Amino acid sequence: MSGLAPYVHAMGRGPSKGRNLTREEAEHALSLILAGDAAPEATGALFMLMRYRGETAAEIAGFVSALRAQLVGWDALPVDLDWPSYAAGRSRGLPWFLLAARLVAQAGHRVLLHGWNSHQSGHAQVRGALDRIGIPLCTSANEAKRAIAADGLAYVPLEALDPRALDLLRLRDVLGLRSPINTALRALNPGRAAASVQGVFHPTYRALQAEATALLGDTRLGVIKGGGGEFERHPGKDVTLWHTKGTSLLPSVAAVSAQRLADAGTDPAALAALWFGQLDHPFAEAIAIGTAAAALQTLDPTRDTAGAEDHARTLWARRPVAATAA
């Protein structure tokens, strides 16, 4: 057998004889796919078998290693925090987490946002919101490096990192289900930042992402069940942050506990209005501050939850509200 056949065979032999892939097998399998040396039928079969059996941390680490091997120049970026954005779904509200990323950058941490989003309503689009709040979209490592040096953060679309990875991610439209690529891209960390945050939709993926990241040698990670799968904290719910020290409970804010993320509005102009002090919206403000606090706690594992939240509130109070919205 050649190509992906040995791996499809290993996984698909039935409930008693089938098995998951080792990290090395998963890395080799995805390397074949990325190089164009795998039949599309075999690629689809492998992805769906992995999903059916349940992805393992070793498989995701192998996939990430294969993806990283394709990246050229990105690992030299001067970045402190990796922030992936790969959520999908029409139920998402506005991407308030972008304001949290600005707060983290305002604190002096260099942030790299990257991603691709699908099946979203127009108001939820991440890329459409970037210009409004002053986050540059960069399509090369040099552009990202300059943006981070100037402003402390940048957003890079997945197609700029690896067009082939985007092709694989979009197989969801063909297969009708997400694949392990969705999981792997959240752990990609193309700039090799010392810390990273990830949002998941299904709670079981928190442990999977944490274990895979540990296998990759990335030692500081914060994972939450976030809005639509983004790293975005719902201030009206108790949220568990999985991180280096174990877990921390991020308590709900009683004043906004009855609201949903989608209740924070659907007008993209509200993002800039809130940031520049032209909109009073306690719930949306709590999303931004709470999400920033979770990211700050990830960056500094010695910081407790209360200290991180105090820092985030101070940053919010000191943001440049006198600036003119885009």
Q: pLDDT by residue (tens digit) across 219-231?
A: 899 999 988 889 9
Q: Is the pLDDT of residue 195 over 70?
A: yes
* In a domain? residue 145: yes
* In a domain? residue 34: yes
* In a domain? residue 307: yes
* In a domain? residue 125: yes
Residues 178 and 134 in one domain: yes
Q: How far is 142 from 149, CA to CA, in rounded Å?
A: 11
Report the 10 Å Cβ neighbour count for 164.
Answer: 14
Q: How far is 190 from 213, CA to CA, in rounded Å?
A: 13
pLDDT band at 118 (very low <50, low <70, confident <90, very high): confident
Specify the DSSP element, H or E, that contains 220: strand 220-225
Residues 97 and 196 in one domain: yes
β-strand partners of 225: 200
pLDDT of residue 12: 94
Which is it for the CA torsion 234, 102, 265, 202, positive or negative? negative
pLDDT band at 253 (very low <50, low <70, confident <90, very high): confident
Residues 161 and 266 in one domain: yes
**Relative orientation angle of helices 57-70 and 23-34, to the nearest 10 degrees:** 40
Segment 210-218 mean pLDDT = 92
Residues 122 and 235 in one domain: yes
* In a domain? residue 325: no
Residues 80 and 50 in one domain: no
Q: Is the pLDDT of residue 142 over 70?
A: yes
State the chain's mean pLDDT as an integer: 90
Residues 116 and 21 in one domain: no
* In a domain? residue 184: yes
Q: List the CATH number of the domain containing 144.
A: 3.40.1030.10
pLDDT band at 133 (very low <50, low <70, confident <90, very high): very high
Q: Is the pLDDT of residue 136 over 80?
A: yes
Q: What are the tens digits of pLDDT across the range 35-94? A: 999 999 999 999 999 999 999 999 999 999 999 999 989 998 999 999 999 987 666 788
Residues 81 and 135 in one domain: yes
Residues 36 and 181 in one domain: no
Structure-token match 């949306």, residue found: 284
Residues 37 and 99 in one domain: no
* In a domain? residue 62: no
- Closest by CA to 153, choosing from 218, 87, 77, 226, is 77
Residues 270 and 152 in one domain: yes
pLDDT of residue 326: 44
* In a domain? residue 63: no
pLDDT band at 324 (very low <50, low <70, confident <90, very high): very low
Residues 29 and 173 in one domain: no
Residues 187 and 276 in one domain: yes
Q: Which domain holds residue 49?
A: 5-54
Total structural domains within the chain: 2
Q: How far is 202 from 199, CA to CA, in rounded Å?
A: 9
